[in-house]
Amino acid sequence: MNAKSVGVIGAGAWGTAVAQALARGGNTVEIWAREQEVVDSINLHHENSRYLPKFQLSENLTASTDIMQVASDKEFLILASPSLYLASTVAQILEVPTIKDGSTCIGVLTKGFVPSHKGPRLILETLEEVLPPVYGKSLVYISGPSHAEEVAMGKLTGLIAASENPKNSIRFRELLRVRGLMVYSSLDVVGVQICAAAKNVIAVVFGSLDAVAETSDLFGDNTESLLLAAGLNEIQTLGFAMGATHSETFSSIAGVGDLDVTCRSKYGRNRRFGHELIQKDLLARFTNLDDLIARIGEIGYLPEGAVACKYIHQICQEKGVKLPICDGLYRILNKEIAPIDFMYELLGQPILGLN
């Protein structure tokens, strides 16, 4: 493989893990972080001690707080900033010559929805309005069952590179085919984005069920599989309502694969959050969902499903779609129903989509 120059915008756990995989594969990778302490940790100690501690990083991976430097003259640029800050972050690199002329191929790792005056919007839809027109229908969305910790370890992981531009999908597929990664192409950019965002909502409910099952003789492993299947149905329903094009997206690693690992893995923040809603009465300090989102930093980690469920609730109202699991989490986090009461309400009757 010929070594490529790669920039990564966002040094969280997932951005760092992908940067590490590419650097370990022989590419020259530079990652941007807001925090000087993160840059120093990576450059001086070859470790992202804040967001991905205890993993030795390749010497091919360097870091900088200069976002223009990281984005400049790269063959590939990977965006990994949180969804709430993605548009404003990308706006900082619009004057980079290789961005202005479209010669840098751009991929996106960010999951979730982006709020706007038009309502919640998909990640690529938002970016296409910010970036130069040359990037219209040419961005690549990268997703799959991929906890950062295992990618950093080099454990075998499957990813989907989705784009309406088949050439760019293949370019990223080949870039990412390093040790530990298997990458497949897709044209269903909407379906893959919906899977990536909505699975976090199901995982929060899954974590709550896991906590309830510890003290209940009604729920068990069979119940968890029931919830997972019903959750996948809701993700698919939402996907098609928003314009997904391929049913196999939801039965692939982008859909059922990512949902399964997010619900069941010990690394899952969303599952942990759902568990702690029961075990630690985590909502006691918040007045409603908006208060939770505004003060989400107090939790100590980022449960993306808590934010996504608000946007999915808005989308469902707009499109007239009924998703009882996603709606239930919205009601829980908005303090309209207790988590345990919702579990018995949901699982004590046929789940919509499975009857």
Catalytic residues: 199
Going by C-alpha positions, the residue among 135, 118, 117, 116 that lies closest to residue 127 is: 135
Query: What letter represents residue 111's amino acid?
Result: K
Q: How many helices (H) and strands (E) does the chain have?
A: 17, 8
Among all chains, which residue has been given the structure tokens 């908006």?
A: 290
Q: What angle do CA 320, 326, 328 make, to 5 degrees?
A: 105
Alpha carbons 243 and 291: distance in angstroms, whole number = 31
Residue 100 and residue 132 in contact, taking contact as beta carbons nearer than 8 Å: yes
- Count how many residues are written for the chain: 355
Among all chains, which residue has been given the structure tokens 């992981």?
A: 157
Burial class (CB in 10 A: 0-12, 13-18, 19+), 299: middle
Q: Tally Cβ neighbours within 10 Å of residue 55.
A: 18
Alpha carbons 345 and 97: distance in angstroms, whole number = 56
Give the list of residues 6+ apart from residue 120 with CB closer than 8 angstroms, or none.
Answer: 113, 114, 311, 312, 314, 315
Alpha helix stretches (DSSP H) within the chain? 13-24, 36-45, 67-71, 86-90, 97-100, 123-130, 148-153, 166-175, 189-213, 221-242, 248-251, 258-264, 269-279, 289-294, 304-319, 324-333, 339-347
CA atoms within 13 A on the CB side of 140: 27
